[in-house]
Amino acid sequence: MKNKEKVKKDKSQEIKEPKKTIKKVKADDKEKKSNQDQKKPDIVLIILYIMLFALIAFLIYSKIKNRNVLRNDDKLSIELGSYFSVENLGACNGLFNYDDHIITYDDIDSNSRVCVAYHKSDLESAKALTYEAKEKDSTCDVDGMIFKTDDDSNKCTVTKIDRKIIDNTYKKIFGKEIEGNDTFKFDGYHVCYLKDDYYYCGLSEYYRIVLGREINVYRSVDRVTKIDGVITIYDYFAKVLDGKECFKDYNNLNPNPLCNENLVDGPLKYKFLKKYGVRYKHIYKEAKDGTYYWVSTEPIYDPNNPEKYQTEEE
């Protein structure tokens, strides 16, 4: 009987043991599943961290990249771009810095340089003087300075300007002390003389009348960069004569075939200039007083001949 009970016991043990194994397997599965569930949030968290770091890196890169870019309508950008934008294109030889090659300070004649400074100076403090000639339509001799009388008058109107005003503007624009300023013309009709630290400006005895074609100049700023004390303005340019012919620069009659083929009536817009105009690069350097002076202007891209200029942009 005892043996039988023993056998029965053994059989019952044999039957129970698989059940324990099953339970153990189930417990292991639960543990694995629990570990996998714990790992899932970890993976999600890691992905979120990676995305966050990528976003931060992108923002830092964008900030570094864009810190060198100024707005086109920034006050400084507008001021620098206006150095050579005298409204009367007949004055100062027009926009002489737009040429088919690089233009620097030494390429500009002294009269044109002083003329630019005159037009950019604040002349509110200038004084108007009147001198009388012996007869109408003649000249006034003012201490050796010759001025023509006003129309149908025997009087000469002369403007007296403190030389510091124009001299300081000249240095601000060109970064140098003024040169060749004893006598200069600021348009085809007026002349200025330097005497005792003042400029005396009035109608010139000899004047120039330009009878020519209608000139329209179009410029459009693309972008402005500021890197290590150097500001660079990139713009597009086209000169149109009589609304019919398009040219690449101001100084020469270099035709722009693409512009001519697609020329439209009315003002040329930015999109047109970007596609058919010549791209120019203007460099300005920072002076000790924090202002910026012009250094050079050069063409860097011609849509008619893309391989002509190899200048890299900053």
Return the bridge partners of 147, or none: 140
Picking from 7, 82, 309, 292, the residue whose alpha carbon sits closest to that of residue 174 is 292
Per DSSP, helices labelled H in the chain are 2-66, 75-81, 110-120, 163-174, 257-261, 270-276
Gyration radius of the chain over CA positions: 39
The pLDDT, as a whole number, for residue 63 is: 54
The pLDDT, as a whole number, for residue 2 is: 45
The pLDDT, as a whole number, for residue 37 is: 54
Counting Cβ atoms within 10 Å, is residue 144 exposed (0-12), middle (13-18) or buried (19+)?
exposed
Terminal-to-terminal C-alpha distance of the chain: 104
Strand order in the sheet with 190-195: 127-132, 155-162, 198-203, 190-195, 183-185
- Residue appearing with tokens 């233009």: 103
- Report yes or no: 201 and 158 within 8 Å, Cβ to Cβ: yes
The pLDDT, as a whole number, for residue 67 is: 57
User: What's the average pLDDT block by block, 10 residues per block, for the chain (314 residues)?
Assistant: 46 48 50 54 77 77 63 88 78 89 95 93 96 94 95 95 96 92 90 96 84 84 93 95 93 93 91 96 96 96 87 60
The pLDDT, as a whole number, for residue 235 is: 96
182 vs 220: CA distance, rounded Å: 35
Tokens matching residue 71: 């707005």
Q: Name, in order, each residue with C-beta under 8 angstroms of 163's C-beta and a sequence gap of 6 or more.
A: 181, 194, 197, 198, 199
The pLDDT, as a whole number, for residue 8 is: 46
Secondary-structure percent of the chain, ordered helix, strand, coil, rounded to 5: 35, 30, 35
Domain ranges of the chain: 1-67, 108-203, 212-301
The model's pLDDT over 61-82, given as tens digits with 9 standing for 90+, comes to: 655 555 578 888 889 999 999 9
The bridge status of strand 190-195 relative to strand 145-148 is unpaired
- Residue appearing with tokens 């348009």: 187
The pLDDT, as a whole number, for residue 213 is: 77
The model's pLDDT over 107-165, given as tens digits with 9 standing for 90+, comes to: 999 999 999 999 999 999 999 999 999 999 999 999 999 999 999 899 999 999 999 99
- Residue appearing with tokens 């714990």: 38
- Report yes or no: 89 and 233 within 8 Å, Cβ to Cβ: no
- Report yes or no: 281 and 311 within 8 Å, Cβ to Cβ: yes
210 vs 103: CA distance, rounded Å: 25
User: What pTM did the predictor assign?
Assistant: 0.76
